[in-house]
Amino acid sequence: MTAKWDEIDQCAQQWIREAGERIRASFAEKLTIETKANANDLVTNVDRGIEQFFAAQIRRRFPDHHLLGEEGFGDPLEALDGIVWIIDPIDGTMNFVHQQRHFAVSIGVFADGVGQLGYVYDVVADELYWARKGQGVWLNGAPLSRLRPVPIAESVIAVNATWLMENRRLDHRPLVRLAKEARGTRSYGSAALELAYVAAGRLDAYLSPRLSPWDFAGGMVLIEEAGGVVTNLNGAPLDLLGPNSVLAAKPGVHEEILQRYLSR
C-alpha cells in the first residue's frame, strides 16, 4: 500500500479546522439535544453534522479509506486492514452542551492497525495537537518535549470522580490510594483532551474503565509519538474496534500505576 501521507495530513488538518469553524458558528444557533444510551449520554445535531461532514470529505477524496465514527456515519468495520480514520466529531459533548468549551474533535488515522496520524483539536482554545509517526508531536506548530518518568508523588493524574467512589466497573479503593499519593487529580470531561494533555506533559497520567475507539484513537497516536505508554487497565494493547479501559501515562508512571495500584 502506497499511502500519500502528506496529502492525507493536509486534508485532515484543513477539515479539522473547518469543522472547528462550523462548531464555533453553531454557538449562535439553537441546539437539538438528544440522549443515547442513558439520560447523561448526550448527542446533538452538531455532533451528527460534523461527522457527516468528515464522512463526505473522506469518501470524496479517499474512496478506498474506511471510517469509524462515534455517530454511525462511518463503515461497519470488522478489521483494521487498509487505511482507517477513527473520528469523534465532538468529544466531551456534555461540556459542549453545558459550557460551550472543553471539548475537542479527535482523529486517528491508522494503516493496517498502526497509528500514523493523530489530531486532537480544542475548538474553543484553537489548539491543535498533532502527531505524525516518526515526526514528533506538535501543538499549533510548536514541537512538544519527549515524555520522561516522574515519581507518583509529583504526578497529576486525570480521573473522573465517578471512579473514586463505589461503581460497577472497577474496584475504586486502589484508585483512592493513587489519588491520595499523587500530587493532585484533575478531571476535564473529554477523554481526547485529557489524552492530549498527557501527550503535552500537562498531565502525568489519565485513566478510564470504559472508552470507545473514537475517544482515544487520536490521543493514543499523540502519546505514543511523545514517548508515553497507552494500554488498557490490565496493561494489554487497546482494541481499536471495541470498548476498552484505558491507562495512558508517561513512561515509568504507567508501569508504576499498573504494578502498585491496578494489579491484584
Q: Is 51 in the site for Ca ion (CB under 5 A)?
A: no
What is the maximum span of the chain, computed from C-alpha positions, in angstroms?
51
Is 90 part of any known ligand binding site?
yes
Q: Is 91 in the site for Ca ion (CB under 5 A)?
A: yes
Is 47 part of any known ligand binding site?
no
Which of residues 71 and 224 has its CB atom nearest to Ca ion in the complex? 71
Site string for Ca ion, 183-222 (x = CB under 5 A): --------------------------------x-------
Half-sphere exposure of 117 (CA within 13 A, CB side): 22
Q: List contacts with ligand 2AM (CB under 6 A).
A: 70, 88, 91-93, 160, 189-191, 210-212, 215
Q: For residue 172, count CB atoms less than 10 angstroms from its CB and return exposed for 0-12, middle for 13-18, buried for 19 or more.
A: middle
Least spacing, CB of residue 209 vs ligand 2AM, in Å: 10
Which of residues 8 and 217 has its CB atom nearest to ligand 2AM in the complex? 217
CA angle in degrees (0–180, nearest 5) for 42-51-3: 140
Three-state SS annotation for 195-209? HHHHHCCCCCEEEEE
Quick one: what does residue 44 bind among Ca ion, ligand 2AM, none, with the CB cut-off 5 to 8 Å set by partner type? none
Q: Which residues pair with 111 in a beta bridge?
A: 83, 114
Question: CA 217, CA 189: separation in Å to the nearest integer?
Answer: 17
Binding positions for Mg(2+): 70, 88, 90-91, 215
